[in-house]
Every structure is written in C-alpha cells, then in structure tokens.
Structure 1
Amino acid sequence: MKTHREIPVCGMKAVAAVFARRPECVKRLFFDPETGRAAGDFCRLLAREKRVYRQVPPEELERIAGTVHHGGIVAITDRPVATEVTPDEIAAWSRARRGLVVLDRVGNPHNLGAIVRTAAFFGVPAIVYGVSREQALPGESTYRIAEGGMEFVEVRPVRGLPGFLRAIRPQYQTVGAALQGRPLDQLQIVSRSATRPVALVLGNEEHGLAPPVLAACEHRALIPGTGAIESLNVSAAAAVLMHWFHGRD
C-alpha cells in the first residue's frame, strides 16, 4: 500500500503541538480568517524559513484538510516514519518506569487517536501495535482526535504480537484487558513502584484480544461494571486502565 509522505494536521491544539515539538516538519500552513488571528507566531516562523502560509476560504480549507472537522487551521507536515520497536528502547522505557500500551487490531482511527491522547496525558511514552490489516494506523483523524498527543507518544509497529509480549516479560508485566479477567482491585500488581512497570494490552473493538495474544499476557484485567452493558469502548477502557496503572502513583 502506498503511503503519502505528508499528512495534514488539523485543529489548533494539534497544530500548536507540532510547532512546539517539530517545527521543521511543517511545510505549509492554511487557516480561515477567524483562526488566522491566533496563528501569528506560526506565520512569523514560517516567514523566516520562507515556507508557505495562507488564509483560505472555508471550502478550500476543507479540501486541504480532507475533512470538515479541521478546526479552522491545517498544517501540512512530514509524516513520521514508524520503525519497529527495538529491545533497547523497551529496556530504556522499563528502566525509567514508564508504562506501555500494546494494541491488537484496534481498527477505528478515532479510537487510536483517543488512546494516544490518554497516553500523552498519563505520560505513557509509546503505543505499540501489531502489524495487521485490521489495525488502524495514524492518519489525519488520529492526529485531530489526539489533540496534540501524537507529538508526545510514539506509535510504533511490531511483528508477531504474542512473541513480542513474551519477549518483554523481563522488563514489563503484561496485562491484557479481557472479559475473562480478574477485577482490577483483585490484581496483585503495583505499577510504577514495581520492579517491572505495566504494559497494557488492548484488543479489537468487536472481538477483543486474539486468543494467542491473550495467552501471551501474564495477567488478565477486567473493569467491573453493573453488568447492564458488557464492556466499554476500547478507548474508554484504555483511559480507565491507564489511570489505574499509570495515573495514581
């Protein structure tokens, strides 16, 4: 599948995060009259670098963004290259007691964006996803929903998710979200103060974790509810679990 080398980043918070973290990657900037009043610093930076910035009418901004949900401003940026996670990176994150999120076929890019936003909020440095046709990849809507979180969280692929989960056990406790799991308050896990921090493993919106992936997890966690609804949306479950394991210490 052909991957475009540029990506439109929409919305003021996401655009501001790009300018704050990697301004050299912004190639062009477009905005509507109302939002342009807040884009002065961005324009001055681009002017110094002799890069394009322009106020455009709403219909053109929609065309550039590829969506009506552009928030009045669109930065055309270099698309980051997603390289596979290395054992050295896993070891470094673990030594720093940083959490990890692992995704198994989460197919909705909006859910991916919401999970990235939550990871950034709780200081989780990386989201690792198994290579699959069913897995959503970072795109325009992911950047927009993440509200700038894509600039703080690495989203990286890995091949062979069950093998990966087994390989990181010396560094991480792997906790799979599953209806067959134990309630959170019954899990004997302490996140940041433990020898090994927690890697949360979240599955597909319809089918949950694939059996080989679930089998590779050390622990299975259940978010208890009233029983009126079987489960939470995966992005909501991610928020609950990240708060439980990474946000309370």
Structure 2
Amino acid sequence: MNDISEKSKPTVFYAKNSQSNVKTRSAKDKGSDHQYKRKNDGFQSSSKAKHDRIETFRPKIADKTKKSSKPQFDLSDEHESPWQKKVRDNDQTPTFGYDEYRQKKEETLVYTENSCKAVFKHRRTAIVKLFITQDMTYQFKDLISWLVKQRLGYDVVSTEQITRLTQTPHHGGVCLIVKKRIPLNLPDYLSKYDDKVNDCIIAIDDVNNPHNLGGLIRSAAFFGINGVILRQTNLLDSGSAMRVAEGGIEAIEPIKSDDFIASIDILKQHGYQVVALLPCQLKSITSTELYQLKFKKKVALVIFQQINTKLINCADNVVYLKGNDNMSALNISVATGIVLSTIKYQS
C-alpha cells in the first residue's frame, strides 16, 4: 500500500537558477528547443526573487473504465487549457460569417425559392455560395449535389442567420451569393437576336422602385421578352427586385443604354416598331387605345413612370389603357403585362 501511495504523489523537482542546471537538462525533460526556450525566458523575466523555482508535474493516472492500457492525463486541475472552453462553446457558423461579411462589388445576393432555382437553371456557374435552412434542403437537393461536385461551399443555417445576411425576413429560407451579370450594349444584343423573326424589347425609363421593376420583369419573362433596356442595369441586382420577379430576371438579357433617344433610332433602323405606353390618358398627347393598335413582328415597348415627351415624340405609336372614374390608371407592371399579352396574341 505504501508503494502505491508513493507513486500517486506528485513528483517535485527543485531547479536552481543557474547556467549549469540548464546545460544538464536532458532532451526528454525539456522537450523541443522552442518550448524550452519559451519556458526559460519566462522564468528569467519573472525571477527577480533569489529563492529556487519549484516545478510540479501531475502523475499519469490510468483510466479503469477503459480496457486500453494507455495512461490518461488527469485534466481536473482548475487551471485547464483555455482552448478547450473556446472550442466547446464555438457554434458552427457559415464560412462567410454574417456581421463580418462584406459583399464584393462583383457579387450580389439572390433569395427566395424561385429566384434561386432560376439562377441554378440559367447560370449556375455564377454561384459562389449557398445559405439554406434545414427545411429547404430537400427542395434544393440537386443544387446541393452540384455544389458538392464543384467543391463549392454551402451552409445549413437558421432562419435568423439568413435574415441577418439578407436584411429582410422575406428570404424563403434560402440565399445564394452569385456573381453579377455583365450587361450587353444594344449593338451586341441586335447581333445576337437580329436573325429572329419575332422579337420584343422593353425599354424602361425612370422606374426605380424595385417592386415595380421586379413586377415588370416578371411579366416580361412570362411573355417571352428577350431583352430589357435600362440606364442603370444594376437595379436588376436588387434583392427586392429579384424577389418580386420570381426568377424572371435570369431569363432576360439586360441592355445598358445611356441615351434612350439614340437607342430608339437604332431600333428603328433594324425594323422595330417603337410603341410608347402612357401610364394614363392625356388629352395633350395623341394616343391610341390598345385594341385599335396593330403590332409588327418586332416591337420595342417604351415604359416610363413619369411621362417623357422626348421619348414619346420618337415613338411610332402611343398607346394607353382606358379606365373609368373609379380608377383611371393601373400599376405600371400590370399595364405592361396587359400590353405584352396583346403583342403575344397578335404575333
């Protein structure tokens, strides 16, 4: 019994603060040179006292609950490693973080189910990362499988985390980080679609509300419009516009134009019928009711929130939707959908 109790006692070494003692230490006692140097430097910097230093090593205690003969270290000391608590409390968070994430200029966020599925359908190579809740993983199993094959990241996170990332509760439990599309100029678009017999382009002027813009694009995609002309194509990168468009933005070519008058002239030279849609009827402007207008095979529909007389004067036809005393005008996205349905019917 005395031998067992003697073995369980801590081993105490008395080390004098002298140069000779440092030289006589074995390689096993001091470990690596770097570790020993760090201990020795720390001792020297804090050893202004003249008395000797005492080092205590806790003995190894075998774990009787396991069959393994390997000894286990007793870590019950009150001065346990601070890294253990740090790892224990560290919840797995997405690679990009949330508060720390700063969106790059060439990237944007796409959220809601239909918008994210449209990105995967039309330009999956632009996807950078996926954030998704556990409930939505089944809906996006094909996307997740593709991300794994491409060695791209995805994180299963909580609803609150996606809300913090998108800055809106209307994300549908899924969010993609994607690269922004590079818009075309009008000559490039015409060279791409000039051989089409039927074509329709929308030129949107002064519609900056993302919800109206998203509604316009959704109607345009529904009726098979190929391109949309904007002064600021970056408006299509708005998360709200993409959410309202329900993925329609991915099906339409963005065309950047700094000069709408010049763009209309180019369209006329390529055989497009330019039709201006009035937001409401004005007696000062000669216009035609929709059912009286005949559309050609190629049409450019000009839409504006605020009436632009210069664009109206450049148009071949001006059309409006007749209402009544209860409601004289429709929302611009709804009116556009009605006109596009008529163009689609006649073509």
Q: Name the counterpart of 2:209.
A: 108
CA distance in 2: counterparts of 1:198 and 1:83, whole angstroms: 19
Which structure has the greater CA radius of gyration? Answer: 2
SS of 1:168's equivalent in the other structure is helix
TM-score normalised by the chain length of structure 1 = 0.88
Q: Which residue number corresponds to residue 233 of structure 1? A: 331
- Whether 2:176 is the aligned partner of 1:176: answer no
Amino acid at match of 2:112: G
1:139 aligned onto 2:139: no
Q: After superposition, give the CA deviation of every residue in 1:103-145 in whole Å (9 maximum; x if it has no partner).
A: 111111111111111111111100112359xx94431112111
Cα distance, 1:150 vs structure 2: 1.4
**Correspondences of 1:59-138 after superposition (within 5 Å):** 59-86=160-187, 88-90=188-190, 92-96=192-196, 97-131=198-232, 136-138=235-237
Q: What do residues 52-72 of structure 1 show as CA deviations (whole Å, max 9, x unaligned)?
A: 111111111112223211011
1:1-249 matched pairs, under 5 angstroms:
4-86=105-187, 88-90=188-190, 92-96=192-196, 97-131=198-232, 136-170=235-269, 171-178=271-278, 179-180=281-282, 181-187=287-293, 189-192=294-297, 197-204=298-305, 207=306, 209-249=307-347
State the distance in 2 between where 1:53 and 1:136 align: 27
Aligned to 2:93: none
CA distance, structure 2, for counterparts of residue 91 and residue 24 of structure 1: 24
One-letter amino acid of the counterpart of residue 54, structure 1: D
CA contact (8 A) 2:227 2:252 kept: yes
Letter in 2 for 1:213: L
CA distance in 1, matches of 2:295, 2:178: 40
Q: Distance in 1 between matches of 2:212 and 2:117?
A: 22
Gapped runs of 5+ residues in structure 1? none
- Separation in structure 2 between the aligned mates of residue 161 and residue 85 of structure 1, nearest angstrom: 11
Whether the 8 Å CA contact 1:172–1:199 is kept in 2: the answer is yes
Distance 1:211 1:46 in 2: 50
Q: Which amino acid aligns with 1:244?
A: T
User: What is the alpha-carbon distance in structure 2 between the residues aligned to residue 107 and residue 234 of structure 1?
Assistant: 12
CA distance in 1: counterparts of 2:242 and 2:313, whole angstroms: 32
Check conservation: 2:189, 2:255, Cα contact below 8 A. no
Give the 3-state SS of the residue equivalent to 2:318 in structure 1.
strand
* Aligned-residue offset at 1:163: 2.2
Contact residue 105 and residue 136 of structure 1 kept, 8 A: no
Confirm or deny: 8 A CA contact 1:163 1:216 kept in the other structure. no
| C-alpha contact (below 8 Å) 2:277/2:304 kept by paired residues | yes
Q: Normalized per residue, which structure has more strand?
A: 1
- How far is 1:101 from its partner? 0.6
Cα distance change of structure 1 residues 67 and 221 upon mapping to structure 2, 3 Å threshold: same
Q: Deviations over 1:182-232 (max 9, x none)?
A: 101222x2343xxxx11111002xx2x311111111110011222422211
Distance across 2 between alignment mates of 1:227 and 1:127:
33
Classify the secondary structure of the residue corresponding to 1:27.
strand
Amino acid in the other structure paired with 2:255: R
Q: Deviations over 1:55-111 (max 9, x none)?
A: 11111111222321101111111011224222x523653541111111111111111
Choose between structure 1 and 2 for higher RCO, CA contacts under 8 A separated by at least 6 residues. 1
